[in-house]
Amino acid sequence: MLTHLFKLMWNKKRTHTLLIVEIIASFLVLFGVTSLIVFNLRNYQEPIGFAYENVWTLNFNARDQPDSTVGEVMQRVKERIQTYPQVESTTLFSSNAPYTMNMSNGDVTNGNARTLSNQYRTDLDMAKTLNVPVLEGRWFNKSDESADVRTMVINTPLKEALFGDEPALGKQITFGGPGDKHKKEDYFTIVGVIGNFKTQGEYMTNAPGLFQLNKGEARSYTRTALIKVKPGTDASFEAQLTKDLGMLTKDWNIEVSYMENQRQSTHNITLVPVTIFLIISGFLLINVALGLFGVLNVSITKRRSEIGLRRALGATGNGISKQFVGEIWVLATFGLLIGLLFAVQFPLMNVFDLKADVYITAIVLSVVVIYLIVTLCAVFPSRQAAEIQPAVALHEE
């Protein structure tokens, strides 16, 4: 029966061109949306790797203050913050701190492999303040502070990218690619490995990242203070804090945000476009479904005598019903095969640098949804077809 339906639909392909094109189009749109959703969901499943609860972000804008003094002032700011009983812990962080929109990245190599990595600068208290577990080795400590010590802490994605399954502790890495000329003193020794560190939040890819200690000149790079306050600390403390710190920093500008709020706005950056895309494609699919439904209804009215004939030759009403659903599956299959030709290019050519399995999952999901939609559209008309009385249908013409 299936071959029969394939032949029938193949011979009718001209009359169904529009339908097939619609199926191809809706498959591709669906593929786009599901790729996006699968990608974001995959990311969402990867933990962010730090705790944002009760963390305040204080951004210091030093205006035209020379870098040489900024480092000094920031150090005093940190010390001051630590004196409040409301504060559990605080850390200074580079401008690409969690849930800011800033990025800072570059190539990193261990001499063989190369990968793009986020680069963070922070201090001894980061792991504690953001509750980042150290999986191997240790977080920075006093021993890393002397000028001639060159150490780094990396996250697991960076470890995997550079070392695969090999241990990373004690290994040397540096900036740039494996082909570049590196002096021995350009290298940093890895002293610790943390898990994930997704500064842009849940929907960010679990990207490689490395941490350097802010010492010496680099102290001026860390102009963001992350403060873990005790639960229940309220805005009056915020007012007091900014007032006190304002005296220390004079004409600097201080901007306070709660990491929980920042997190929400970063989520919206991902969720809003996805939702819009989803709504648009939803309407598109409804449109296609209605079109399909109409076409099917018309085609069944046109084919009454064929239905009568098939009944006379031994088809049951149910059999007729199944035939029409089968036909629409065959049509959907034609459309999907063509759509797949396009869709498989994405994983094959590694478009947008997404993992192949994101695309493959999206393809599978889209195929399932298309079959579901066409089936839903076919159910009612094919029931109607089953109701047609053979004696009556054969009589007309």
Partner 1 sequence: MITLQNIEKVYRTSSIETLALNNININIRKGEFVSIMGPSGCGKSTLLNIMGLLDEPSKGSVAIAGQPVKSYRDKELAALRNQKIGFIFQSFHLINDLSVLDNVEIPLLYRPANGKSRLDHAKEALEKVGLSNRMKHFPRQLSGGQKQRVAIARAIVGNPEIILADEPTGNLDSAMGNEIMSILQSLNDDGATIIMVTHDESMAKKTHRLIRLFDGTQVGDSLLQGVAGAGREWQGASMPSVQTLPSTPKL
Which of partner 1, ligand ADP, none does residue 1 bind to, with CB < 5 to 8 Å depending on kind? Answer: partner 1
Task: In angstroms, give the least distance from the CB of 395 to ligand ADP.
Answer: 6
Strand 105-109 versus strand 55-61 pairing type? unpaired
Question: Is 279 or 392 the residue whose CB approaches ligand ADP more closely?
Answer: 392
Distance of CA 307 to the CA centre of its chain: 50
Residue 200's nearest CA partner among 275, 270, 127 is 270
Question: Is 13 or 243 the residue whose CB approaches partner 1 more closely?
Answer: 13
Residue 18 binding ligand ADP, by CB under 6 A: no
Residue 368 binding ligand ADP, by CB under 6 A: no
Q: How far apart are CA 273 and CA 68, in angstroms?
A: 42
Question: Is 19 or 29 the residue whose CB approaches partner 1 more closely?
Answer: 19
Residue 101 binding ligand ADP, by CB under 6 A: no
Q: How far apart are CA 85 and CA 321, in angstroms?
A: 75
Task: In angstroms, give the least distance from the CB of 394 to partner 1.
Answer: 7
Which positions lie near partner 1, rule CB under 8 A?
Answer: 1, 3-4, 7-8, 11-12, 305-306, 308-319, 389-391, 394-395, 397
Question: Is 185 or 397 the residue whose CB approaches partner 1 more closely?
Answer: 397
Q: DSSP assignment, residue 230?
A: P
Question: Is 108 or 393 the residue whose CB approaches ligand ADP more closely?
Answer: 393
Question: Is 11 or 45 the residue whose CB approaches partner 1 more closely?
Answer: 11
99, 116 in Cβ contact below 8 A?
no
Task: In angstroms, give the least distance from the CB of 19 to partner 1.
Answer: 15
Q: How far apart are CA 147 and CA 311, in angstroms?
A: 91
Q: How far apart are CA 342 and CA 349, in angstroms?
A: 11
Q: How far apart are CA 326 and CA 1, in angstroms?
A: 9
Task: In angstroms, give the least distance from the CB of 159 to partner 1.
Answer: 58
Task: In angstroms, give the least distance from the CB of 5 to ligand ADP.
Answer: 29
Beta bridge partners of 61: 253
Q: 353: alpha, beta or left, given left = phi > 0 and alpha = psi -120 to 50?
A: left
Question: Is 7 or 395 the residue whose CB approaches ligand ADP more closely?
Answer: 395
Which of partner 1, ligand ADP, none does residue 71 bind to, with CB < 5 to 8 Å depending on kind? Answer: none
Question: Is 27 or 334 the residue whose CB approaches partner 1 more closely?
Answer: 334
Which of partner 1, ligand ADP, none does residue 201 bind to, with CB < 5 to 8 Å depending on kind? Answer: none
Distance of CA 46 to the CA centre of its chain: 10
56, 226 in Cβ contact below 8 A?
yes
Which of ligand ADP, partner 1, none does residue 8 bind to, with CB < 5 to 8 Å depending on kind? Answer: partner 1
Which of ligand ADP, partner 1, none does residue 11 bind to, with CB < 5 to 8 Å depending on kind? Answer: partner 1
Residue 392 binding ligand ADP, by CB under 6 A: yes
Which of ligand ADP, partner 1, none does residue 312 bind to, with CB < 5 to 8 Å depending on kind? Answer: partner 1
Tell how many helices (H) and how many strands (E) occur in the chain.
12, 11
388, 306 in Cβ contact below 8 A?
no
Helix axes 259-302, 356-387, angle to 10 degrees: 40
Residue 312 binding ligand ADP, by CB under 6 A: no
With a CB cutoff of 8 Å and minimum separation 6, the contacts of 104 are 94, 95, 96, 118, 119, 120
Residue 290 binding ligand ADP, by CB under 6 A: no
Task: In angstroms, give the least distance from the CB of 320 to partner 1.
Answer: 10
Q: C-alpha distances in angstroms, 151 versus 129, 210, 393?
A: 20, 10, 85
Question: Is 337 or 392 the residue whose CB approaches ligand ADP more closely?
Answer: 392
Interacting residue ranges for ligand ADP, rule: CB under 6 A: 392, 395
